[in-house]
Amino acid sequence: MSLDTRHPQLNSLGFAKAPSETRVVVAMSGGVDSSVVAAHLAEEGYDVVGVTLQLYDHGAALAKKGACCAGRDIHDARRVAEEMGFPHYVLDYENTFREAVIDEFADSYLAGATPVPCIRCNERVKFKDLLATAKDLDADCMATGHYIQRKMGVAGPELHSAADANRDQSYFLFSTTPDQLDYLRFPLGHLASKAETRALATKYGLSVADKPDSQDICFVPNGNYADVILKLRPEAASPGDIVDMAGTVLGQHNGIINYTVGQRRGLGIGGLEDPLYVVKLDADARRVIVGPKEALTTRIIPVREINWLGDTPFDNCAEREVLVKVRSTRPPREAIIRPLSATTAEVELLTPEEGVSPGQACVFYEPVGSRILGGGWIWRG
């Protein structure tokens, strides 16, 4: 594994000094990806400092598999640091994480949106508070195990999709600001597959070499959003009506948190000739609105809180042809962005998408190439 270097006088992290004189804070989740980053940089001779964030009550999460930042993961990160001989610190960010991520997640769901808490965690905790801590430690940069690429362009650092499309995490990192991008490094982004990462973990003799990848949102056991939200907001189980698009009552529900846009199964309104899908959640009226599959398609998407990573100001032109992603698991689609201000826009999908919901991210990509141009949050308009 070699990190990108564009100048023979620069080290692999892009600094004009020896690795031993370059301090790098590595955000360590306890998983194989960030562990390999830390181990590789330590082997190259960098002054590595590992930092792990305790984001929630890890005592209650010790028995939970498939999530990051739990107690077992803190132990694994510490063990890797001991194996590779660099210092490791655990920072208690429970209150920050609760206020910046978990509370908004619950409130957004109750408002009928489909939140993406991993993006808010990167934006508000890892790339804000942790990054500030790295600077307080006099680090030259901060490195993470994310699968995304940072490349130098004519106007400065650019964000690019990972070489391995199956591991690409650009959807979750669109809100990275230019200043943050200047300080961040993503050493795994150029690898062709996760198998290469695990091979490196084996090469370094890391105890986490065979550790499974995290699958769920770290604070949502087994992907059950409703249970988590009920603990945070007991009032979320308020019953209401299931109605069709004309407002006709078809049935009852036991809380809109149990439903998502696009859902077909489990509606409890059988006996109808044609299948119906959840097309909208009206939180104020406590109504689940259902309709035919074609009612799920969306062509015009209002987007706000836009973070722009292009070389020219976002609102400098009337419209742009781009590719956009409205779900992390879907491929980019052709679209036209029409800026309304420096942080708001109307996005027109050339081919309508199903299941577009408020609370999701809309991420912008160059029509040709791998560069991420930023993105924003979908809202009702």
212-270 pLDDT per residue, tens: 887 667 887 677 777 888 888 887 788 999 999 999 999 999 888 888 888 888 888 87
CA distances from 162 to 54, 148, 369, 370, 381 (A): 27, 4, 12, 8, 32
Q: What is the DSSP secondary-structure string of 145-186?
A: --SEEEEEETTEEEEEE-SSTTT--GGGSTT--HHHHHHEE-
pLDDT at 62: 39
What 8-state DSSP symbol labels residue 34?
H
Q: What b-and-e string marks burial along 143-181, b requiring 16 or more CB atoms within 10 Å of the CB?
A: bbbbbbbbeeeeeebbbbbbbbeebbbbbbbbbbbeebb
More confidently predicted of 262 and 61: 262
Strands 47-54 and 23-27, bridge-based pairing:
parallel
The mean per-residue pLDDT over the stretch 308-317 comes to 92
Calpha distance 347→378 (Å, rounded)? 10
Which of 19-33, 132-146, 218-232, 347-361 is predicted least confidently?
Answer: 218-232
State the catalytic residues: 121, 218
For the domain 19-222, what is the CATH code? 3.40.50.620
Residue 363 has pLDDT above 60, yes or no: yes
The model carries a pTM of 0.88
Integer Cα distance of 315 and 340 in angstroms: 7
Spatial separation of the C-alpha atoms in residues 285 and 241, rounded to whole Å: 9
Tell me the pLDDT of the chain averaged across its residues.
Answer: 89
Q: In the CATH scheme, what is the code of domain 238-291?
A: 2.30.30.280
Annotated domain spans of the chain: 19-222, 238-291, 297-378
**Whether the predicted pLDDT of 67 surpasses 50:** no
pLDDT of res. 59: 46
Range 193-201, long-range pairs (CB < 8 A, 24+ positions): 193/164, 193/166, 193/167, 194/164, 194/166, 194/167, 196/1, 197/32, 197/33, 197/36, 198/32, 200/1, 200/36, 200/39, 200/40, 201/32, 201/35, 201/36, 201/39
Helix spans in the chain (H): 32-43, 71-84, 94-97, 103-110, 117-121, 131-136, 178-183, 194-203, 225-232
Backbone region of residue 369 per phi and psi (left: phi > 0; alpha: psi in -120 to 50; beta: other values): left
Q: How confident is the model at residue 319 (pLDDT cuts 50, 70, 90)?
A: very high
pLDDT (mean) for 288-294 = 92
Please state the length of the chain. 381
Is the predicted pLDDT of residue 65 greater than 70, yes or no? no
pLDDT at 221 (0 to 100):
66
The band of 5, judged by pLDDT with boundaries at 50, 70 and 90, is very low
Q: For the domain with range 297-378, which CATH number is right: 3.40.50.150, 3.30.365.10, 2.40.30.10, 1.10.10.410?
A: 2.40.30.10
Question: What is the enclosing helix (H) or strand (E) of 305?
Answer: strand 297-308
